[in-house]
Amino acid sequence: MLRYILWRILAMIPTLFLISALVFTIIELPPGDYFESYVSELRAMGEQADLAEIEILKARYGFDQPMIIRYVHWVGGFFVGDFGYSFEYRLPVSEVVGDRLWLTILLSTVTIIFTWLLAFPIGIYSATHQYSWGDYGLTFLGLIGIAIPNFMLALIMMYFANIWFGTSIGGMMAREFLDQPMSWAKAASIAEHMWIPVLIIGTAGTAGMVRRLRANLLDELQKQYVVTARAKGLHPLRILLKYPLRMALNFFISDIGSILPAIISGAEVTAIVLSLETTGPMLIKALQSQDMYLAGSFLMFLAVLTVIGVLVSDIALALLDPRIRLGAGSSK
């Protein structure tokens, strides 16, 4: 196991370098750069851009140098905590992300916990009470949850909140706390506003997870080892928890590779609809405006989380499922 982990960690280094080269190349592919887009936008609005300042910024950040030189400077900055400069916000990337990063992590983590706490008991009940009225009802609700897009549910809730209560449910906090330092009042406002996006984003995730858990658990409950355990007179709860539920959790563990980057990227469209102060809308805006260092740093962070998540899921699967053996081919 230790040898496998060390090998995977070493393999992450060239993988991340290749991803960084691919990300930088893709961001560079569109014609022009942020400055050209910025000048065009100002001219469309009838304003004049300070061309001297733009030329200074271009020279400072190496836009007058070949792409390979800028790529080396960009990657080299990661090792000293320099993620580049955001031209859209006129600040270093590390300062731009700021509160948005921890708000995104908080929202996504609470949503994942909410989804798991709701999906586990419902999925187990549906599998152990197959074709009952409860199973049919929960299956029907799950299909509705999968069919309704998150952004549509957000629009519906915003409409009825305005009609019935005359209030807006957008944002992660009250407007007076925006750009303010953390305080007890701000924390209370965040907690007050958080349940709405958690409920909206978690709906589809819960419905999909219930369906997958039910299908996997039903498959395990019909296998021979479960029939043998029942024939021996073991308690049904012990039979369920000992092996079938553990084997049915394999897909939960394998999803860690996608869950970790999802914590940062969040539900971008839903965040835009609800005006959430998270990193998802910022990433989309950075890609649209060709704010390359901000967009590239986001994408690299997501790549790092994906690679780490896949490694964690592989190790956790080997510990959870005795049928999985890492590096078994070399021990034959």
Supply the pLDDT for residue 327: 54
112 and 246 part of one domain: yes
Answer whether residue 293 is part of any domain. yes
Of 82, 110, 139, the last residue of a domain is 82
The answer to whether residues 109 and 216 belong to one domain is yes
Distance CA 183, CA 37 (A): 39
∠ CA 132-144-141 to the nearest 5 degrees? 30
Contact by Cβ (8 Å): 169, 158: yes
Sequence-ordered list of residues with C-beta below 8 angstroms from that of 120, at least 6 positions apart, any chain: 213
Query: Is residue 185 included in any domain, yes or no?
Result: yes
Report CA Rg, the chain: 25
Q: How far apart are CA 294 and CA 232, in angstroms?
A: 61
- Spell out the per-residue pLDDT of the chain, length 332, in tens: 777 778 888 888 899 899 999 988 887 777 666 777 766 766 667 667 667 767 777 777 777 778 888 888 888 888 887 787 787 787 888 888 877 778 888 888 888 888 888 888 998 999 888 888 988 998 888 888 778 888 888 888 888 877 886 666 777 787 777 777 778 888 888 887 888 888 888 887 788 888 888 888 888 888 888 888 888 888 888 888 877 887 787 777 777 777 767 766 656 778 888 888 778 788 888 877 778 888 888 888 888 888 888 888 888 877 776 666 655 444 44
Same domain (yes/no): 202, 300: yes
For residue 188, give Cα distances in angstroms to 112, 170, 177, 194, 220.
Answer: 21, 16, 11, 10, 44
Domain containing residue 301: 99-331
254 CB neighbour count, 10 Å cutoff: 15
Q: Model pTM?
A: 0.76
Domain end marker among 25, 55, 82: 82
d(CA 57, CA 46): 22
Residues 229, 325 share a domain: yes
The domain tally of the chain equals 2
Query: Are residue 20 and residue 134 in the same domain, yes or no?
Result: no
DSSP state letter for 32: S
For residues 110 and 156, membership in a common domain is answered with yes
- DSSP structure class, residue 248: H
3-class SS at 51?
helix
Whether residue 68 is found in the same domain as residue 195: no
Burial state string for 123-157 with b = 16 or more CB within 10 A and e = fewer than 16: bbebbbeeeeeebeebbeebeebbeeebbebbeeb
Residues 128 and 174 in one domain: yes
Q: Which residues partner with 86 through β-bridges?
A: 91
- Rounded distance between C-alpha atoms, residue 241 and residue 247, angstroms: 10
d(CA 112, CA 154): 18
Q: What CATH number is given to the structural domain containing 202?
A: 1.10.3720.10
Q: Return the closest-CA partner of residue 15 out of 27, 23, 26, 4.
A: 23
Please answer whether residues 204 and 145 qualify as being in contact, where contact means their C-beta atoms are separated by less than 8 angstroms.
yes
In a domain, 5, yes or no: no
pLDDT of residue 70: 83
Pick the last residue of a domain from 53, 82, 111: 82
For residue 262, being part of any structural domain is answered with: yes
Q: Is 34 part of any domain?
A: yes
Residues 77 and 108 in one domain: no
- Has residue 6 been placed in a domain? no
Is residue 2 in a domain?
no
| 26 and 108 housed in the same domain | no
Q: Does 26 reside within a domain?
A: yes
Q: What are the tens digits of pLDDT across the range 29-42?
A: 776 667 777 667 66
- Residue 307 sits in the same domain as residue 189: yes
Whether residue 50 is found in the same domain as residue 136: no
pLDDT value at position 18?
92
